[in-house]
DNA sequence: CTGCTTTGTGTATACGATTACACAAACGAT
DNA sequence: ATCGTTTGTGTAATCGTATACACAAAGCAG
């Protein structure tokens, strides 16, 4: 029943040493006799002693906490990456704090709250947060922010994603299949990453004298993909829809199939983005502009390690997307 | 550039008051003149001062950190719940630390690490961790553990889930449709929750003189559902498969369709469990034993609030599952 | 055996907030 | 005008650890 946790001072008494020695027993490279250390660790185990990380953080000025700013946990498009990152952080004895919020103001509030916990690193996945906000809120703790916005800021490291070649490849195939009228279904109205993705495809189309003829905005969810596709297909005669992510693409395909009775890729081509595992499921088999999530999260960890090692300045990594061919385009 | 965060003592000097007064300005119900408070808050905003949560936690003995022990983030079956819970925690100014690990030993290590951060609450979703382990590791901090294991322990609050009625309903329908030979595809070999779910269906079958004739074990993933279903259908002539979760059910359905050329529900009935959003997608339309995730997470929060309010003793809540009817059974 | 370095340990302080206690000023009632 | 209460603020201790510094013991070279 909630007995108070034993402190180093109390353990010191029990082990007949000073509290400083207790601390040293738990620090790998500190001057301490190996006999003393072994004895202390034994007594510690006996009494269930573990150094208090909160107190250590206060003293150290390092919390080993990492804030992860995300749009959503539930959406598979992000969840896969989050899972990979969380595992990698944990392997380094870093604990992830998830900041997840749909509403913009709440998100800033949340980031302010997390910043009071003196997080060592901040990973901003959410493209709704501007780099400037993130820098402002976290500037005092440790100013590395891993993000994907191509903004040059001395305190921000970022990862850039280039999908132009893969988008070109995909558009090439679809155009050669005879499709002529393209629609783009965005995930959000305001995010820059959505605009970037759209540009990859718009450029690929322009190269072939084509263009985005119809457009709609969803919220990265299946339901929005379904609904917007229905509306889109009713108001415009398009034979290809490029979607902002895979989940919306699945929704759009279901809409085309079910509501309009069209089949892919004969009647209409559907393209997703992200390359999540679900896209490759037999029932989906989506053609999608795919990002290597493992490489992506490795890059995030690389940036974090640069920061842990106190390497100065911003760092930048660029990743290239590839096309995953399915039966929808 | 990583300027040190300003402290209350420094701000005190700037505002011409003592650090105690600074602290009071940030504590809602403390004796402080409203003029002083306003002035301090203004100066604080100007210098970007925010009380250091780590220091406060050390003094308070309350970290406002919550450990969430989960099997996976990436699996949609859990992710939806996690998302709901994270939102609810954040609304209460509680920050969630995710502990996510497939491997059993790592998980215990991770829990030990989190416990050194003096988390206020622990929510154990992962059914691979025994209550005893959780109680042992977290007994010193705050001993409330919200879990689903029906174990009576004075320091553990739990949520029980009853799906027996819904399972009965589902089996009834399938049996009336003429299906006679049932298989059960488990999510894990060792978890008690999986055994519980299996029992609901086994009991419903027994009531009708039927039984589980074939069995297989997966890992809650699509791929394992697909693979195990193929093996299962090759070695046993079954016409219904009950799956440990929805994702495996989708895998099993794809296997039956694609590899065996069977269609649902005519040739074979497939049943999932969880009732995730994806199960209702047009392309899946799964029949599933569904749990109300909102009610579920509300229950978790209710237990946490009991604990925040220092209500003594363990608390227990029971939730009932319902059947969601789709086109797969 | 002397002087110097290394090793192991204790003492005391810092980390940045909260809060019990003390006390002065202001206020109200008689 | 006096006493008692309330209000606002400062002082100092506390939370649990890490570490700079001091110092004794031990090891070693000459």
What confidence tens digit (pLDDT) does each residue in B244-268 have?
999 999 999 999 998 889 988 899 9
B152 & B300 share domain = yes
Give the alpha-carbon dihedral of B82, B78, A225, A179, to 10 degrees. Answer: 130
| Distance, CA of A143 to CA of A67 (rounded, Å) | 12
B129 & B169 share domain = no
Give how far B206 is from chain A: nearest CA, Å. Answer: 33
Q: B98 with B120: CB under 8 angstroms?
A: no
SS3 per-residue string spanning chain B: CCCCCCCHHHHHHHHCCCHHHHHHHCCCCCCCCHHHHHHHHHHHHHHCCCCCHHHHHHHHCCCCEEEEEECCCCCHHHHHHHHHHHHHHHHCCCEEEEEECCCHHHHHHHHHHHHCCCCCEEEECCCCCCHHHHHHHHCCCCCCEEECCCCCCCCEEEEEEECHHHHHHHHHHHHHCCCCCEEEEECCCCCHHHHHHHHHHHHHHHCCCCCEEEEEECCCCHHHHHHHHHHHHHHCCCCEEEECCHHHHHHHHHHHHHCCCCCCCCCCEEEEEECCHHHHCCCCCCEEEECCHHHHHHHHHHHHHHHHCCCCCCCEEEEECEEECCCCC
pLDDT band at A142 (very low <50, low <70, confident <90, very high): low
Using CA coordinates, name the residue in chain B closest to A50. B116
A194 & A238 share domain = yes
Q: Do A58 and B55 touch (CB under 8 A)?
A: yes
A101 & A249 share domain = no
Q: Do A95 and B97 touch (CB under 8 A)?
A: yes
> Domain containing B30 — which CATH number?
1.10.260.40
Q: Which residue in A83, A257, A281 is closest to B72 by CB distance?
A: A83
On average, the pLDDT of chain A sits at: 90
pLDDT of residue A298: 94
B28 & B168 share domain = no
Q: Which helix (H) or strand (E) holds A170?
A: helix A164-176
Residue A17: inside a domain, yes or no?
yes
Handedness of CA A291, A293, A298, A300 (dihedral sign): positive
3-class SS of residue A139: coil
pLDDT band at A3 (very low <50, low <70, confident <90, very high): low
Least confident of A304-313, B133-142, B162-171: B133-142
On average, the pLDDT of chain B sits at: 90
Q: Which residue in B83, B115, B281 is closest to A72 by CB distance?
A: B83
Give how far A125 is from chain B: nearest CA, Å. Answer: 15
Closest nucleotide to residue A56 (Cα to C1')? D17
Give how far A16 is from chain B: nearest CA, Å. Answer: 23
pLDDT tens for A311-329 read: 776 788 899 999 999 999 8
The whole-number average pLDDT for the span B269-276 is 96
Across the beta sheet with B322-324, the strand order is: B212-217, B182-186, B240-243, B269-274, B287-290, B322-324
A12 & A81 share domain = no
Closest nucleotide to residue A31 (Cα to C1')? C8
A116 Cβ contacts chain C strand, under 7 Å: no
* Strand D bases with any atom < 7 A from protein Cβ: 7-12, 14-20
Q: Which residues on B lie below 8 Å from A54 (Cβ)?
A: 54, 57-58, 63, 117-118
A203 & A269 share domain = yes
CA of A35 to C1' of D30 (A): 32
| Distance, CA of B244 to CA of B259 (rounded, Å) | 21
| Distance, CA of B143 to CA of B287 (rounded, Å) | 38
pLDDT of residue A1: 44
| Distance, CA of A181 to CA of B237 (rounded, Å) | 48
Residue B266: inside a domain, yes or no?
yes
Give the alpha-carbon dihedral of A220, A225, A226, A227, to 10 degrees. Answer: 90
Give the N- to C-terminal CA distance of chain A in Å, as an integer.
61
Residue A28: inside a domain, yes or no?
yes
| Distance, CA of A243 to CA of B231 (rounded, Å) | 36
Q: B236 with B250: CB under 8 angstroms?
A: no
Domains: count for chain B:
3
Bridge partners (DSSP) of residue B121 are B66
The whole-number average pLDDT for the span B215-237 is 94
| Distance, CA of A193 to CA of A125 (rounded, Å) | 11
Candidate ranges A39-48, A142-151, A302-311; pick with highest mean pLDDT = A39-48
B281 & B309 share domain = no
B197 & B286 share domain = yes
Give the N- to C-terminal CA distance of chain B in Å, as an integer.
61
Closest nucleotide to residue A37 (Cα to C1')? C8
The whole-number average pLDDT for the span A100-128 is 86
Q: What size, in residues, is chain A? A: 329
Q: Which domain holds residue B128?
A: 65-162+293-320
Q: Do A140 and B2 touch (CB under 8 A)?
A: yes
Q: Which residue in A73, A142, A226 is closest to B82 by CB distance?
A: A73
Give the alpha-carbon dihedral of B147, B152, B154, B160, to 10 degrees. Answer: 30
Judge residue B108's burial from the number of C-beta atoms within 10 Å of its C-beta, 0-12 exposed, 13-18 middle, 19 or more buried: middle
Using CA coordinates, name the residue in chain B closest to A258. B282
| Distance, CA of B205 to CA of A12 (rounded, Å) | 61
Using CA coordinates, name the residue in chain A closest to B258. A282
Give how far B209 is from chain A: nearest CA, Å. Answer: 35
A158 & A226 share domain = no
Using CA coordinates, name the residue in chain A closest to B253. A283
Q: Which residue is nearest to nucleotide D18 (CA to C1')?
A: A59
Percent of chain B residues topping a pLDDT of 90: 68
Q: Which residue is nearest to nucleotide C9 (CA to C1')?
A: A21
> Domain containing B306 — which CATH number?
3.40.50.2300
**Residue B27 is encoded by which pair of tokens?**
């504590």
pLDDT of residue A267: 93
A39 & A87 share domain = no
B102 & B45 share domain = no
| Distance, CA of A253 to CA of B300 (rounded, Å) | 36
Q: Which residues on A lie below 8 Å from B139 (Cβ)?
A: 2-3, 48
B56 Cβ contacts chain C strand, under 7 Å: yes
């Amino acid at each position: 029943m909630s007995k108070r946790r034993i402190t180093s001072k109390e353990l010191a008494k029990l082990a007949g040493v000073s509290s400083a020695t207790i601390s040293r027993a738990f620090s790998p490279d500190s001057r301490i006799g190996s006999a003393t250390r072994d004895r202390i660790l034994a007594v510690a185990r006996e009494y269930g002693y573990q150094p208090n990380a909160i107190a250590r953080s206060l003293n150290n000025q390092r919390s080993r906490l990492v804030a992860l700013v995300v749009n959503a946990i539930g959406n598979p498009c992000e969840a896969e990456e989050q899972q990979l990152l969380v595992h990698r952080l944990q392997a380094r004895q870093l604990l992830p704090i998830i900041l997840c919020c749909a509403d913009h103001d709440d998100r800033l509030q949340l980031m302010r709250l997390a910043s009071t916990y003196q997080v060592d690193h901040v990973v901003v996945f959410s493209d709704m947060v501007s780099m400037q906000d993130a820098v402002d809120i976290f500037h005092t703790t440790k100013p590395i922010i891993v993000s994907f916005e191509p903004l040059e800021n001395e305190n921000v490291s970022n990862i850039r994603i280039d999908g132009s070649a893969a988008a070109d490849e995909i558009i090439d195939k679809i155009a050669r299949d005879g499709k002529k009228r393209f629609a783009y279904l965005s995930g959000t109205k305001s995010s820059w990453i959505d605009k970037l993705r759209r540009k990859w495809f718009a450029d690929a189309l322009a190269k072939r004298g084509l263009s985005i003829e119809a457009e709609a905005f969803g919220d990265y969810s299946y339901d929005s993909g379904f609904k917007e596709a229905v509306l889109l297909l009713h108001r415009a005669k398009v034979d290809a829809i490029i979607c902002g992510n895979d989940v919306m693409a699945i929704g759009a395909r279901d809409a085309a199939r079910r509501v309009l009775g069209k089949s892919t890729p004969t009647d209409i081509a559907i393209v997703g983005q992200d390359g999540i595992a679900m896209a490759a499921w037999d029932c989906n088999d989506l053609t999608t502009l795919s990002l290597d999530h493992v490489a992506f999260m490795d890059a995030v960890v690389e940036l974090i390690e640069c920061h842990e090692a106190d390497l100065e300045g911003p760092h930048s990594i660029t990743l290239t997307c590839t096309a995953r061919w399915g039966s929808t385009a």
